[in-house]
Amino acid sequence: MDFSIGSPHKSALWYDYRLYVNLIEAMASLGINYRKNSKNRIYFLGAPRRHVYPDVGKFDPSANNLALAYCHFEKIKSYNEFRKVFLPSEFVKDAVLNDKKKHSKLFRKNVFLDNKNRIDIIRPFSSLSSTDEVLKTYECDISFIGSPRIRPIVEDIIPIVEKHNLSFQIFGPHWHEYKGNKNAVKYVTANEIPYENIPLLSSASKISLVDHHQPMNDIGTVSHKYVDLIASGAFVLSDNNKDAVQHYKGITYNSVNELEELVLFYINDENARRKQRERQLDIVQKNSTLLAAKQISQFFI
């Protein structure tokens, strides 16, 4: 048995590239090989489906087409062309199937699924685990991994960092081009962090910041990065994401003042950070890439 992936993210500098790499590795461990133009095709939908992908070519309706959707659900024109659709949360499922009026401003052009039986939930998954090793290079009060689109969480944290003389590390490419707070570039440690080093960052950084595209917050689903950080043992503080709060029992903030209060409290309370890490680790223990691969491969032919 084999499979291929339709994904736009083939650059290691894109965080989503890890979905591609991790899923191929997990499938291989199950004896399922990766082959271009396979009959079994998984489309990574972080945006509308493209007409052509390097590993699958043009869309072939006769293939066994599966969709793994993880963000920008409001931009997907149709899920009806896929035999199976894997969505990342019950909130997204409800939005796609039921909440047309509630989310009408988001789903302007969406054609909703005509068969709910074609939907399964696969929550964002991770190939990481925590470590007790601490690398001094990564030691800091606060860290952030991401590319330099305008980041409200970065805009919010920099004045707090500067006010309280906190250490802050940013990992990501092209921050010299950032259009927001010009001081952000001062905190850039590297243009990337190797995926396998994320647990080292999580053990050395007191607080790991995560943000999401606003529709993800409004509809209710977290990113794979969010789950990667939890799985790697990080204490995670994120923007106000409905799924982060309700399913992952996450620490989130609504205002700069609240962010400042949370940062100062948790930086100075190691026991509170430990309890939160343990609580979230317990929640994501079943969200492994291997289990996701097993669930997806059940629908291979």
Q: Is 236 exposed, middle or buried (0-12, 13-18, 19+ CB in 10 A)?
A: buried
Q: What is the pLDDT of residue 47?
A: 81
Measured between alpha carbons, how far is 12 from 126 in angstroms, rounded to an integer? 17
pLDDT surpasses 90 at 283: yes
Structure-block tokens of residue 50: 């493209």
Predicted confidence (pLDDT) at residue 113 exceeds the cutoff of 60: no
Superfamily of domain 136-284: Glycogen Phosphorylase B; (3.40.50.2000)
Per-residue pLDDT, averaged over 231-247, amounts to: 98
Cβ 122 vs Cβ 292: under 8 Å: yes
Rg (CA), the chain: 19
Output the pLDDT for position 118: 86
User: Which pLDDT belongs to residue 17?
Assistant: 84
